[in-house]
Amino acid sequence: MARLEGYLLAQGRMHEARREAEDFADRMPWLTTAQREDVVHHYVQDRVELTRRVLTALVARAGELRQEYTERYDELRRRLLCAAVAVLVGSAALCAGAVLVVR
């Protein structure tokens, strides 16, 4: 399902880039048909490459953030576990002390 979604998203971006390229080429009415198609082709290729670079950078950053958050979560979990153990040991010590005082 995710691959299909990615494919559809990519196709949508391609159509968007093509539409923008054609709008860009329309602003140059002096171009011949071949020149216009060449401009449109290069514009689309540039947009696709830009999108690829941006997505690659986003994926890399997402991986970095996932690693950072995982490390932070693990550290917080360790600290919470240590605090819980300390509370349990302290409670056990208090209970033992109370039993000794009562006897």
State yes or no: pLDDT of 101 exceeds 90.
Answer: no
pLDDT per residue as tens digits for the range 12-23: 989 999 999 999
Give mean pLDDT, residues 24-36: 96
Rounded to 5, what percent of the chain is helix, strand, coil? 90, 0, 10
Write down the pTM of the prediction: 0.66
Give mean pLDDT, residues 70-93: 96
**How do the domains of the chain map onto residue ranges?**
2-102
